[in-house]
Each structure stands twice: as structure tokens, then as C-alpha cells.
Amino acid sequence: MLLQAVQAVCLAFLGLAGGTAVGAGVVALFVVLDIVPRLSQLTRTYAKVHWYEGAMVAGSVFGTVADFWNWKFYIAWKPAAALVGLFNGIFVGMLAAALTEVLNVLPILAKRVGLQKYLFLLLLAMVFGKIAGSFYDWFIYHP
């Protein structure tokens, strides 16, 4: 009985510690990428910056609760499902692009490999490769 209680306490501690570490990493990523200030700058909505922050927190809480309680969402109407997938893809792509921009990966890579004048083509190759890989995964490869 005592051993089970100690195991439960250790599991709870490890779960909270791991969640805190992952959450801190995500927040640090968003801070380093300047997601909220950049978004408010691009949309000229400086006064609404608290709405962006609230939306990020609400989305995180909703996603956590949905994951813990194993919620499933089925969208029967195909165009709506396609729209949700499109928005998810745009988000992931823009987050990856922002991370790449902050780290200056592409200019450094192009300079070291000697492809500076082909930087735009390198970017296009990456984009079309991602699209082709996604189509392969969606339509051909089914685990």
C-alpha cells in the first residue's frame, strides 16, 4: 500500500515536471520567435495584443484538456475537414518558417554550400518537397 502511494506521488511529480518543462520550452519558442508582437505589427492591431495572448493560452488549455480526456472530433463535411487541414498546415509551415528565419538557417546553408544565388530556388525546392511528401503520406502511404 505504501509502495503504491510512493509510486503515485513519483508519477505525479514526474508528470508535472515534464509538463512544466515542455510548456516552458513552447513559451520560450514563442518568445524567441516574437510571434505575438510580430503578428500585432503585421496586422496593425497593437491594442489587441492581449487577445492574441489569450487565444494562445486558451488554445493550449483546450488542447491539453482534449488530449487528457481523449476527445475525438469527426468532421463529416469534406470541405470543412479540408479547411481545418489547410489551416493546420499553414500554422505548422509558418511556425517552421519563423524558426528558420530566426536561426538564419537558409542563408548560412546557402553560403556554406555555395548556393547564394539559388537561395530562392532552394526555398521553392523545400516547399514543393514538403508538399510532395505530404501528398505521399496522405494518399499513398497508409501504415
Assign 102 a pLDDT band (cuts: 50, 70, 90).
low
pTM of the model: 0.55
At 10 the pLDDT is: 93
At 108 the pLDDT is: 78
Distance of CA 40 to the CA centre of its chain: 19
In angstroms, what CA-CA distances link 50 with 3, 37, 53, 54?
46, 10, 5, 6
Position with higher pLDDT, 109 vs 111? 111
Tens of pLDDT, residue by residue over 13-72, are: 998 988 888 888 788 777 777 878 877 887 888 898 899 889 888 988 898 899 889 998
Eight-state DSSP code of residue 112: H
Which residues lie below 8 Å from residue 35, measured CB to CB, with a gap of 6+? 56, 98
